[in-house]
Structure 1
Amino acid sequence: MSNDEPVSFGYREVADDGRAARTWWDANADEYLDEHRDFLGDAGFRWGPEGLTEAEAGLLGEVAGRDVLEVGAGAAHCSRWLTARGARAVATDYSAGMLAGAERLDTATGVAVPRVQADARALPFADGSFDVVFTSFGALPFVPDAGTVHREAARVLRPGGRWVFSVTHPLRWAFPDDPTRRGLTASRSYFDRRPYVETDAAGHVRYAEYHRTVGDHVRDVAAAGLRLVDLVEPEWPEWNDQVWGGWGPERGRYLPGTAVFVTESP
């Protein structure tokens, strides 16, 4: 067994500064994008595995002619959709592997999106550069210091700008990662904030994902000087029969899987 293969996994405290996520996504970007190609589409904007689109939800507000920043953009599906609708979008991601996938999609779709490799906790943009900042399941779950991401989003926003982010619904962390009815029985405390961690044969962290309660997210937003204006919990739609990790129609009819927080700068 190579040192890159996970030999230990579970919920525990770990010394991780967020770099494990970059390594993991670099190694798994192509597989992830290939697996979810049909659902994500070449130029779509979905807020989570339920399939809620920005076209349906309108959480970013009017984007035509506005400066929009996507953090944790992956292959920049969302930014590409926004660009096609008149936004001046910029996509950032920590993973070079994901940004390489974005470059391939630029070629395939004919819609090019400016891309910057950057840590969401240290954005290389001046204060007040953007009207809208957002992330769809990017950055926040993979860093131990989510408050820094919120502060950076607030810093680069113009007054009255909007910061919108979707994450795994915090309630889901109390349940096993099983999309069937077996996943409807809570197996750990919702208040247990230890991250999910995978390590290799040498004991190095190869993947870490962090849990915050609803209250944690709200406090982080408030500490960054932002105002919460909406919290969207998408219901599982009848048309969606896909299973994506712990998300799927069987459990999705009973438990929320995604939370989308809509906040504004004063």
Structure 2
Amino acid sequence: MDDHERTREAWGRAGEKYVREHAEFLEQARTATLFPHELEVVADLLRQGPEVLHLMSGNGVDDHALLRAGAVRVTGLDYDERAVTSAQERADALGAPIRYVRADVPPFPVPDASVDLVYTGKGAVVWVADLDAWAQETARVLRPGGHLFVHEAHPMVPLYDLDAQTTRMRDDRSYFAASHVNDTFPAHGAVEWQHTVGSIVTAVAGAGLRVEVLREHPAPFWKPGEVEAAAWDGRLPNSYSLLARLSG
């Protein structure tokens, strides 16, 4: 079993949560909003009523938040069948204009120049093996003047030892390594790609998108279990927001 299949299997097990806790995710979808850090960057674009492509859409809750902020239509892509099926059931139950498609990404199974905003949020870029192909596909599906928006865990996060008292780095990981094995729930056993900030920005710029915003944030977008860590005390980067525009 290669790393891709190992990761798919791990996320398949994690996807059982989306089915098992369907009612809870449905309630979240009814009132979901994007994080304040996200809205600071992308709220004006969403108020213009864009059509959105959400890469690696997971439980789909953020898609309802995108609609609530102004998007007119969302297409969600995810490579786990359970995630796609359960998210579609929730969208249908709420009458939301969201369509889910099971797909490995890249490539993206949507036409050229068909969306205004590509949203990649909260634990997605780490599953992309080929950043250049991901960025090129993003440029392909965007309409002229369209945007890519990423809100993601900072690439430093996998290096933190989540000790409650002391900030320190793990000895078994490197910022410049190609990958590492995720050892936290829900993707325990999945292989994450260790992309640096520089490699992400370079891939986006190389695809012809102009970076307009790059902000690093001290707060993580997700905390495993009941863990409290010194790495979250405001001194270290735990997430980032990137906005890039396709010329036209």
* TM-score normalised by the chain length of structure 1: 0.75
Match of 1:261 in 2: 242
Identity, in percent, stands at 25
Match of 1:8 in 2: none
1:246 Cα shift?
Answer: 9.9
Match of 1:231 in 2: 214
Q: Which has the higher contact order (CA 8 A, sep 6+)?
A: 1
1:30 and 2:16 matched: yes
1:132 Cα shift?
Answer: 0.6
1:165 Cα shift?
Answer: 1.4
Match of 1:88 in 2: 73
Q: Distance in 2 between matches of 1:215 and 1:246?
A: 32
* Preserved CA contact (<8 Å) 2:18 2:82: no
1:30 Cα shift?
Answer: 3.2
Worse-matched range after superposition: 255-264 or 100-109: 100-109
Structure 2: segments with no counterpart, 5+ residues: none
Tell me the secondary structure at the aligned position of residue 129 of structure 2: coil
1:41 and 2:28 matched: yes
Q: Distance in 2 between matches of 1:235 and 1:206?
A: 26
1:258 Cα shift?
Answer: 0.9
Report the CA distance shift for 1:166/1:58 in structure 2 as closer, same or farther (over 3 A): closer
* Preserved CA contact (<8 Å) 2:18 2:86: no
Number of positions where the alignment pairs a residue of Structure 1 with one of Structure 2: 236
Query: 1:157-195: CA deviations, max 9, x gaps?
Result: 11111001122212223322x16233x112347543231
How does 1:182-221 map onto structure 2 within 5 Å?
182=166, 184-188=167-171, 190-197=174-181, 207-221=190-204
Q: Distance in 2 between matches of 1:74 and 1:60?
A: 25
2:7 to 21, 27, 45: 21
1:197 Cα shift?
Answer: 2.3
Match of 2:145 in 1: 160
2:115 to 126, 130, 138: 130
Q: Distance in 1 between matches of 2:123 and 2:160?
A: 22
AA in 2 matched with 1:216: S
1:140 and 2:121 matched: no
Structure 1: segments with no counterpart, 5+ residues: 1-13, 200-204
Q: Distance in 1 between matches of 2:83 and 2:156?
A: 28
* Preserved CA contact (<8 Å) 1:91 1:115: yes
Structure showing the higher helix proportion among its residues:
2
* TM-score normalised by the chain length of structure 2: 0.79
Tell me the secondary structure at the aligned position of residue 231 of structure 1: strand
Report the CA distance shift for 1:25/1:191 in structure 2 as closer, same or farther (over 3 A): closer
1:172 to 134, 142, 157: 157
Report the CA distance shift for 1:230/1:206 in structure 2 as closer, same or farther (over 3 A): same
